[in-house]
A and B are shown apart, each in its own frame.
Chain A
Amino acid sequence: MNTSKINSMEFGILSPKLIKSLATVRIVTSDLYDADGYPVDGGVMDPRMGVVDPGLRCRTCGGTIGDCPGHFGYLELARPVIHVLYTKYIYQLLKATCSKCGKLLNRDPRSLDHVSKSPLKKCPHCGKQSKKLSFVKPYTYYSGKDELSPSSVREWFERIPDSELKKIGFDGGRPEWLVLTLFPIPPVTMRPSITLETGERSEDDLTHKLVDIVRINQSLKENIDIGAPEFILNDLWELSQYHVATYFDNELTGVPQARHRSGRPLKGIVQRLKAKEGRIRGNLLGKRVDFSSRTVISPDPTLSINEVGVPEQVSKELTIPEIITPLNIKTIKELIKDEKVNYLTRPDGRKIKVTQENKNDLVKTLTNGWSVDRQLQNNDVVLFNRQPSLHRVSVMVHKVRVMPYRTFRMNPSVCAPYNADFDGDEMNIHALQSEEARVEASMIMDVKNNIISPRFGGPLVGLDLDQISGVYILTKKETVMTKEEATQLLATAGLDMELPDKEKFTGKEIVSMMLPSELNIEFKSHACKECDKCLREKCEHDRWVSIRNGKLRTGVLDSNAVGAFKGRILNKVKRLVSEENLKNFIDSLGRLGVAYLMSRGFSIGLSDLDLPPNILKKIEREIENAQKEANGLVVKFNRGKLKALPGMTMEESLETQILSVLAEGLNVVSEIMIKHIKESDIIHMSRSGAKGSNINTTQMAAAVGSETILGKRIQRGYLNRITPHFKQGDLSPTAHGFVARGFKQGLTPFEFFWNVMNGREGLMDKSLRTRKSGYMQRRLMNSLQDLKVMEDLSIRDSNGNIVQFFVGEDGMDPTKSDWGTLNWMDHIKHG
């Protein structure tokens, strides 16, 4: 392993001397290739500057494509030109220095900015009166009314003494180097040409630009030599300046863009570096990788949370290098025989592909010191990732399980950290290539090490959807089963457990078998009805969870107990047992839930939303009442008798009041509905927090309520009305987005339209939001990325500036806390 390190990087300006010494070629012609298609010596594609065609060798270093880094050339400019990227600094320097002695026009110079802002009119050193300088974009300077040619700018700058430059912190080089006399020609490797299928060569944008520069420079030189008239020379000089300018930056204001024949603007040096797809952000900070794979994901609750099901096809393509040692030579040989190795690498670095024909010979020749590229197999360590990778748990280590079919399989419990669902989401895996990487990754990035979120200190991995529904129904009071059923259930869940000798088993007893025996906890379940007075253990609805010494005594386990984000038990168990056992706990509980649902059956249907006819009537009346009340407000408003709410206009108060009246009406409806709807699986889902809420059920079974746009009732459309079907100025709920029916009952065409309007708003909001928050994340990341916790628990940036003396003011890592607090009371009580 190479352990040398780059310690620092310096920036500066290239001097003509340096340009010359860096160069291997002097460019003299604008021709690229001769008639035979070989690069011309002294041309821009001179092979002494490196090679880009396979098979050829660099004439300077003898390297081929991969190992020749390329070499610079140089061009002697017939007339100097201004380096456009420095025009601002050139102008400042002109203003700041005396045209005669080159010294600074300030007795107490602080910086270039400072001196150039208010230079003395008269030079304090030689007494020369300075003329008024002006700068006309893009690259022309005037002294008084006379144009300053690049040559005269250069001469001026040559007069500035080094001592003066030091005073203003101009340390990158001599200012006259900002006017180019020698032009560096970048190596060919930096601007490779590509050969099209037709055999035609297509040159890089930079090469095109360089050809222009060289050509104009040639003709300028010739014209100078033949003594052409000044105006012709000036025209060519100007053109030369233009080409050099656009070579550096082709997006200068005031300069017409240099274009390709097709009309596409050429890419200058600046464009290469800049922005998202530029060199820095696109190639240096983000890289394309090998040994990765991407496909659709689908759920498999039988997998462990830290496993990933990998399709066979993928496993054959992804490989892991392994060095042959006496310890593994036997197994590797078996693998080669099974064609589970793709390549062998000999100690001299040659690679041999394993095929059916040569595998037996290869097995014989394989010895220590060789290495092989072995196919992915069970229990290999891979990174699993879903984009956008918004936080660190978007990339975690999973163990491979090679499986048939073509999707990545994962346990639904790990959907939360990845924010994944299975409506067509795709995810990536990366096979780690070195032993160090695999060890480090599996020690800190494994799912089981990342169950607690660093964001809020609660579990991110926990039961989800059906797993919760299953455990919820299983732990309900009425769930009782025979020993046979219980055995069957445990077997389906893949749990190897001994059942005590008993006739009947309650669901709570079964679940208790999963709980660690040290577990002691009490809390309200998600299904809690929020009674006025909590009876705790004596809760008549059995919603108070009480676990003593690992026995679930009362209550149901739902999302508040074992779900992602809220699972109280998960945090507690994490403190009691090892990470491995916490993982097993989540696994087995999840499997138990799903297994129970499979034997019990779990489905929802339209009839689940049925309500008795008298209740439907009641609901209808309630909705009518709410509408009537709203209409009453409208009447009051029209008569001008509505009381304005503080700080609002009449219209605003009307709107707010109508909305609140309608919302209140819907609340009442919701309560009635919840009271009378039958205990179906839909209700089980929303009550346990597996999916959905009372609002969802209400909207399906009873009424949708008022649709809103931008937080107000729907207002847009025709003048004073949404559609022409209403009277102008009709302010009633029906005319402004109130949906009085539920989805089951069916919506009227208007109501349907309003519902869709609301839906569209949601879509727009989402797309706008992702962009805004994405940019915010980038800025936050760039501001904060260098902060780290030091040994003394202070936070410092990369320069050692202290940001906080004590991390988070108490030194605590939220990842190791209970929702951000230190639960010491629980610790001393229950260990």
Chain B
Amino acid sequence: MGERMNVGLPAKIRKDVESYISEHNISESEGKEIMDRVRKFYHRALYDPEEAVGVVTAQSLSEPATQMTMRTYHFAGTAGIQVTLGLPRLIEIFDAKKEPETPSMTIYLRPEFQTEVKAIEVAKKIKEVKLRDFVISDVIDLVNLTVKCKLDSEKLKKFNLEPKKLVKHIKLKNIDCETKGNDLTCLSKKTENVNLHKLKYKLLESHIEGVKGVSHVIVSKDANGEWFITTLGSNLKKVFEIEGVDPNRTICNNPFEINDLLGIEAARNSIIKEAVDTIGEQGLGVDIRYVSILADLMTSTGGIMGIGRYGIAGNKDSVLARMAFEETKKHIISASIDGLKDPLKGHVENIIMNQLIPMGTGAFELIGRIPGGKPKPERPEKRAAEKPRVRKRVEKPKPKKPVKKPKVKSKKTKSKKPSKPPAKKPKRKVKKK
């Protein structure tokens, strides 16, 4: 307990108290007293040791999930991008899906780009432009095995392009493109087995300009009057390179992408932010500490692990815990091949063994003796008689035993049963036979 009492106030609270003291012109001695009282108050709010935070975390996160709606949409009025929300999104985050169902970015701009015109300009650079956007009509020419497209010259002008320049942007292998006026003719370099429909699709989808994968961009103003861009589809790396984007604040909703680009700590924060936003959007309250515990567990290996079969729950050290979760057969078989030993340190393992779980009130192993009570005469003989027997069976646990044993024995003298069976059994056999 001594150690816990030395825990200092969290920085934020300390600062708050300090500014409170200075603001109210409180004398030094009184200020010190206030600080002391706050510290005592804080110590009272600390966690008790052996508290099963894991279980409380799981409950606190999933109990509100039962109240979530399956699918929520941005409700009428707010024009914006439809992103997955509610329970499916929460499951997506906890499962650590590589690609979210609706990847999205929130892009902030540098101060010098804080006008609507400039923001739109940046947005234009970000939005992916595909060949499809310039094509008015397309035809498959089965005779010449080509795909012919008619281009929209007005649209081309908007992007400062001409048909000839456009061709240079088409970066597809095995395709030759020619332009005649506003007509675009594309021929596959392969001569046999040309799938023209596939070719056409590939051609129309080919990237011309902007950031790959970003299909929608919306420029809007936030509560502080700052311009920012939201997108559907994400590609943080490319967006960071675009002029005017403030890479310090720009984020996407995919922790994996953030991990690749900014590292695991950032990914952890991203998981927390996404989960808190999803839960908060539904108007459900969950303490942020629980989300942080889960996020820390998910990222504790240095990569992002989901919670399921292929993540944390399926990669536990304990064979029994894994068997109890899913894929019982797989785990028991591989454990027998590897000759694994389960030290029964966890929660389920001990429930399976019908023992107290090593948590909360079950974590403490000392059994006290009532001072001055309980009979003594039998103990010395018993200890002498039993010690060798115990040693034969168990070799390792030496250090703790001498402390515990007398206590165990004092219990045993009362009930008499537990220690004897090994000696008795053979006798019984003989009798009955």
**A647 touching B216 by the CB < 8 A rule?**
yes
Q: Which residues of chain A are near B297, meaning CB under 8 Å?
A: 783-784, 787, 803
- Which of A779, A793, A816 sits near B7, CB closer than 8 Å? A793
B415 to chain A, nearest CB (A): 7
- Which of B65, B219, B397 sits near A777, CB closer than 8 Å? B65
B166 is an interface residue with CB less than 8 A from chain A: no
A223 is an interface residue with CB less than 8 A from chain B: no
**B91 touching A803 by the CB < 8 A rule?**
no
Q: Considering the complex, which residues of chain A in the window 781-831 have a beta carbon less than 8 Å from any beta carbon of chain B? A: 781-793, 795, 797-799, 801, 803-804, 807-814, 816-817, 819-820, 822, 824-825, 827-828
| 0/1 interface trace, chain A 641-683, chain B, CB 8 Å (1 if under) | 0000111100001001101101110000000000000000000
**B332 touching A11 by the CB < 8 A rule?**
yes
**B418 touching A4 by the CB < 8 A rule?**
yes
Q: Which residues of chain B are near A824, meaning CB under 8 Å?
A: 13, 16-17, 38, 41-42
**A454 touching B41 by the CB < 8 A rule?**
no
B340 is an interface residue with CB less than 8 A from chain A: yes
A270 is an interface residue with CB less than 8 A from chain B: yes
With A285-B352, A803-B300, A822-B45: A782-B313 Cβ-Cβ less than 8 Å: yes
B180 to chain A, nearest CB (A): 32
**A788 touching B79 by the CB < 8 A rule?**
no
Q: Which residues of chain A are near B343, meaning CB under 8 Å?
A: 7-8
Instruction: Please give the number of chain A residues whose Cβ is less than 8 angstroms from any Cβ of chain B in the complex.
Output: 110
Q: Which residues of chain B are near A804, meaning CB under 8 Å?
A: 292-293, 296
A66 to chain B, nearest CB (A): 14
| 0/1 interface trace, chain B 293-326, chain A, CB 8 Å (1 if under) | 1101100100000011101110011111101110
**A784 touching B336 by the CB < 8 A rule?**
no
B161 is an interface residue with CB less than 8 A from chain A: no
A100 is an interface residue with CB less than 8 A from chain B: no
**A280 touching B7 by the CB < 8 A rule?**
no
- Which of A60, A62, A270 sits near B329, CB closer than 8 Å? A270
- Which of B20, B59, B76 sits near A455, CB closer than 8 Å? B59
Q: Which residues of chain A are near B346, meaning CB under 8 Å?
A: 785-786, 797-798
Instruction: Please give the number of chain B residues whose Cβ is less than 8 angstroms from any Cβ of chain A in the complex.
Output: 127
Q: Which residues of chain B are near A11, meaning CB under 8 Å?
A: 319, 332, 335-336, 338-342
With A278-B328, A779-B308, A784-B54: A773-B48 Cβ-Cβ less than 8 Å: no
**B285 touching A458 by the CB < 8 A rule?**
yes
B363 to chain A, nearest CB (A): 8
| 0/1 interface trace, chain A 3-22, chain B, CB 8 Å (1 if under) | 11111111111000000000
**B53 touching A795 by the CB < 8 A rule?**
yes
B77 is an interface residue with CB less than 8 A from chain A: yes
**B49 touching A791 by the CB < 8 A rule?**
yes
Segment at the A interface, from B66-74, B189-197, B240-248, B376-384: B66-74
Q: Which residues of chain B are near A710, meaning CB under 8 Å?
A: 71
B406 to chain A, nearest CB (A): 12
Residue on B nearest A778 in the bound complex, by CB: B325
**A811 to B48 CA separation, bound complex (whole angstroms):** 10
**B54 touching A786 by the CB < 8 A rule?**
yes
**A827 to B45 CA separation, bound complex (whole angstroms):** 12
Q: Is the interface of B mostly helix, strand, loop or mixed?
A: helix
**A773 touching B65 by the CB < 8 A rule?**
yes
**A779 to B333 CA separation, bound complex (whole angstroms):** 22
A173 is an interface residue with CB less than 8 A from chain B: yes
Q: Which of B10, B45, B347 has the most CB of A within 10 A?
A: B45
Residue on B nearest A782 in the bound complex, by CB: B313
| 0/1 interface trace, chain B 258-293, chain A, CB 8 Å (1 if under) | 000000000000000000000000000111111011
**A195 to B117 CA separation, bound complex (whole angstroms):** 86
**B332 touching A3 by the CB < 8 A rule?**
no
A33 is an interface residue with CB less than 8 A from chain B: no
Residue on A nearest B358 in the bound complex, by CB: A798
With A171-B338, A795-B53: A789-B328 Cβ-Cβ less than 8 Å: no
**A588 to B294 CA separation, bound complex (whole angstroms):** 40
**A508 to B295 CA separation, bound complex (whole angstroms):** 47
**A789 to B38 CA separation, bound complex (whole angstroms):** 23
A826 to chain B, nearest CB (A): 10
B87 to chain A, nearest CB (A): 6
With A170-B337, A773-B68, A798-B347: A455-B53 Cβ-Cβ less than 8 Å: no
A61 is an interface residue with CB less than 8 A from chain B: yes
With A656-B76, A809-B292: A783-B311 Cβ-Cβ less than 8 Å: yes
**A416 to B81 CA separation, bound complex (whole angstroms):** 36
**A776 to B338 CA separation, bound complex (whole angstroms):** 31
**A12 to B336 CA separation, bound complex (whole angstroms):** 4
| 0/1 interface trace, chain B 343-369, chain A, CB 8 Å (1 if under) | 111111101110100111101000100
4 interchain residue pairs of minimum CB distance: A62-B432, A787-B54, A808-B289, A171-B339
A270-B328, A810-B289 are known; give 12 further A-B pairs, CB within 8 A. Answer: A61-B432, A273-B328, A273-B332, A390-B62, A770-B66, A777-B58, A783-B312, A786-B346, A787-B55, A787-B297, A795-B293, A813-B51
User: Which residues of chain A have a CB within 8 Å of any CB of chain B?
Assistant: 1-13, 57, 60-62, 85-86, 89, 112, 169-173, 249, 270, 273-275, 278, 280-281, 284-285, 388, 390-392, 440, 444, 454-458, 645-648, 653, 656-657, 659-660, 662-664, 710-712, 765, 768-770, 772-774, 776-777, 779-793, 795, 797-799, 801, 803-804, 807-814, 816-817, 819-820, 822, 824-825, 827-828
